């Protein structure tokens, strides 16, 4: 038996689901086949069933579809500069000041307590 894959992406696993579905293998058997190879990183049984259903309904792409909602900002020189400008303008900036600007940052730092402004700055910088 081959060793479990230590690195894999969800997209790669969706490709495996699509391949095995095309070979007429049922969803429950696809998951049983994938579980030993992907281990704890394996798609859930429900996710495999959902993707088999989508492929059965005619979907061909394994990529995520665009969803409406809040845009996700990424670390670009411009966003890094925005953060630095905010911190320099107001040294007592709180994490809440960033929440409306950076949704993913909010998720990452949610529930954290910081002893001082420098700790906030370090946490924000390490997030990038």
Alpha helices in the chain (DSSP H): 10-22, 27-38, 45-56, 77-89, 95-99, 103-109, 117-127
Residue 17 banded pLDDT, cuts 50, 70, 90: very high
119 or 41, which is more confident: 41
Which segment of 18-27, 52-61, 106-115, 119-128 scores lowest on mean pLDDT? 106-115
DSSP letters, 77-106, are HHHHHHHHHHHHH-TT--HHHHHTT-HHHH
DSSP state of 73: P
Kindly report, residue by residue over 37-89, the tens digit of the pLDDT. 988 889 999 999 999 999 999 999 998 887 666 555 566 778 778 777 777 77
- Give the C-alpha separation, 108 to 31, whole Å: 30
Q: How many CB atoms lie within 10 A of CB 118?
A: 10
Q: What is the pTM of this model?
A: 0.53
Domain 10-56 annotated CATH 1.10.10:
yes
Residues 90/117, Cβ–Cβ less than 8 Å: no
Would you kindly state where each structural domain of the chain is located, as residue ranges?
Answer: 10-56, 77-127
């Amino acid at each position: 038996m081959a060793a479990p894959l230590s690195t894999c992406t969800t997209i790669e696993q969706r490709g495996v689901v699509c391949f095995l579905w095309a070979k007429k293998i049922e969803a429950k058997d696809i998951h049983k086949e994938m579980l030993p190879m992907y281990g704890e990183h394996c798609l859930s049984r429900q996710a495999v069933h959902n993707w088999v259903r989508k492929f059965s309904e005619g979907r061909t792409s394994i990529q995520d579809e665009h969803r409406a909602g809040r845009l996700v900002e990424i670390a670009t020189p411009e966003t890094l500069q925005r953060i630095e400008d905010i911190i320099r303008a107001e040294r007592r900036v709180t994490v809440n000041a960033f929440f409306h600007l950076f949704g993913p940052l909010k998720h990452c730092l949610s529930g954290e307590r910081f002893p001082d402004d420098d700790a906030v700055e370090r946490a924000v910088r390490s997030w990038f």
